[in-house]
Amino acid sequence: MKILESEHGSESRKHTCSFWEGRLWAFIWAVAFGVVFPIGSAAQTGVSGGGGGYGTGVQSPLQFAGEGAPSSQLSLSLGASTFYDDNVLSTNGQRHGDEAVSLSSHLGVTETTERLTFGFNYTPYFQFYRQFDQFDRLSHAGNLNLNYRLAERFSLGLYDTLSYQYGFLPYAGQQQEILSGPIPPTALNQGIFTYTTRTLVNTAGLRLTFAKSRRTSFSISGSYNLDKFGSESGESQGLYNGREVTGGLHFQYLVTSHTRVGVLALHQDATYQGGGVFGYRERSQIETAYLSVESDLSPTVSVSVYGGPQYLHIISGSFVGEGATGQLEGAGGGSITKEVRNTALNLAFQRSVTDGGGLYTDVINTYATFGARRRLVGRWEASCSGGAEQAETPILKISNETTRALMVTAGVSRPIRGNAALSLSYTTTHEMNKGNLPFFVGFDSNYVTLGFNYQLKTIPLGR
């Protein structure tokens, strides 16, 4: 693994001038976004007003009972934070800490009418490191969730989540919204972190639903998932870029006013290129059949359980050859969400065949996530979220690598005068690789972040 240089004193005067000119224009660009598209320090990873049951492809924000996003408004906010990272290069072999400042902004739009539910969030943010200025880059995160009733029995859903970021961990120095509900069945592996410095992730989907009756509905869906990795030097770093196309059929039946049963069939076609563990390329297909049960046990507690078989077939690959033998695996998961006036809690788990987050191609992925919010005295609020994950490669029967990861974030926040809020958080990440992985043995990292957010403007959207 090639470690990025942290010193730049040996550069020529000409290159130094060009470098500082580039930083100046990048700073002006970030400030311009802060004025035109302001944002909060909380990077939105879910879309307000979206969500839905298992198989819809999105998750809902974890909220207190009675809490909800305004039905129709445009919001603009601006955020700034300072944080300390004790392992900027994400390698325990050459561990370096550094302080940084992050400037962010947020544009949020929600609209709810009789026929339309729409949510959009966009967050650009810029980070300034004191020593590792090669990581001073503008990053972006955004999402869209739309549901439109075409006719009395037909509705169309569209969702898209995109992030283009620099840094080893997602949204470095940024607080993230806690999500609830079942984990999307086609989500890319986001719990395994790599040493790359530039990452593009995009998940987009389309869903058409036919409500046959008040109790019965049928949906047909398609999605496209992309994850692409780059390095600061532009050289290949042995990571797998992944592209996946998914098609699905979903049947749902309302057993009672509080319980829903569903059957989900998925076809996934994935292509991986650029890695080194299983050769430089691979194409595989996964067939999945899930039975799901969702129930609202009370006005504040909801649960979901799903499971079924998955069949993996390797179509081609530089290691495994054409027409590799298929592999049958059991998959499943579940979630429980409790949302009361002063406490909100979500627990979720899943085991499935999925992508390897850039380190591998297809893996057996097992992980559990949790999120909690608690209102304290004096308008303070505490939050804690995280998860544990394990990715195993014996499914291909040509290697035996295992990656285990653990990430926990805890923080407190409080509104202050006017539309401003202050937050303090701590994030710890631990990752370990076992086996024949030739270039990445894992790392430990700790973040401490102090953030400030100011709501610039909220504009109601009239009918």
Query: Tens-of-pLDDT digits for all 463 residues of the chain?
Result: 333 333 344 444 444 444 444 444 444 444 333 333 333 333 333 333 334 456 666 678 888 988 876 678 999 999 999 999 998 887 888 889 999 999 999 999 999 999 999 999 999 999 899 998 888 888 899 999 999 999 999 999 999 999 898 776 655 555 577 888 877 776 667 677 776 668 888 999 999 999 999 999 999 999 999 988 886 544 446 788 999 999 999 999 999 999 999 999 999 999 998 876 666 788 999 999 999 999 999 999 999 999 999 999 888 876 654 445 678 999 999 999 999 999 999 999 999 998 888 888 888 999 999 999 999 998 999 999 999 999 888 766 666 788 899 999 999 999 998 889 999 999 999 988 887 765 667 788 998 999 999 998 888 886 5
Rounded CA-CA distance 76/453 in Å is 11
Helix, strand or coil for residue 311?
Answer: strand
Q: Residue 134, SS3?
A: helix
Q: How does strand 175-176 pair with strand 42-43?
A: parallel
* pLDDT of the residue at 320: 53
Contacts of 359 (CB under 8 A, 6+ apart): 192, 194, 239, 240, 275, 277, 391, 401, 403, 433, 437, 440
8-state DSSP, 214? S
Tokens of 168: 């080893």
Alpha helices (H) in 196-315, listed in sequence order: none
Pairing type for strands 60-61 and 281-298 reads: unpaired
How is residue 395 written in tokens? 């499914």
Cβ distance 202 to 226 under 8 Å?
Answer: yes
φ and ψ at 340, to 5 degrees?
-115, -175
Closest to 44 measured CA to CA, from 101, 110, 95, 92? 110
pLDDT at 276: 67
Listed in sequence order, the residues at least 6 apart from 216 whose beta carbon sits closer than 8 Å to its beta carbon are 251, 252, 253, 254
Residue 258: predicted pLDDT:
93
Instruction: State the Cα–Cα distance between residues 142 and 44, nearest whole angstrom.
Output: 7
CB 24 within 8 A of CB 122: no
The predicted model scores a pTM of: 0.81
Q: What pLDDT is recorded for position 352? A: 92
Residue keyed to tokens 């033998």 = 325
* Type and span of the H or E element at 27: helix 13-36
The pLDDT of residue 14 is: 41
CB neighbours (10 Å) of residue 212? 11
Which regions of 59-213 does DSSP assign to beta strands (E)?
A: 60-61, 73-85, 98-112, 116-129, 138-149, 154-166, 175-176, 179-180, 198-211
Distance CA 373, CA 338 (A): 10
CATH fold, domain 13-460, is: Porin (2.40.160)
pLDDT at 23: 45
pLDDT of residue 298: 92
Distances (CA, A) of 99 to 128, 140, 147, 171, 449: 9, 21, 42, 15, 10
Question: Helix (H, G, I), strand (E, B), or coil: what is residue 86?
Answer: coil
pLDDT of residue 15: 40
Residue whose structure tokens are 């430089």? 280
Q: Which amino acid is at 234?
A: G
* CA–CA gap between residue 427 and residue 448 (Å, rounded): 7
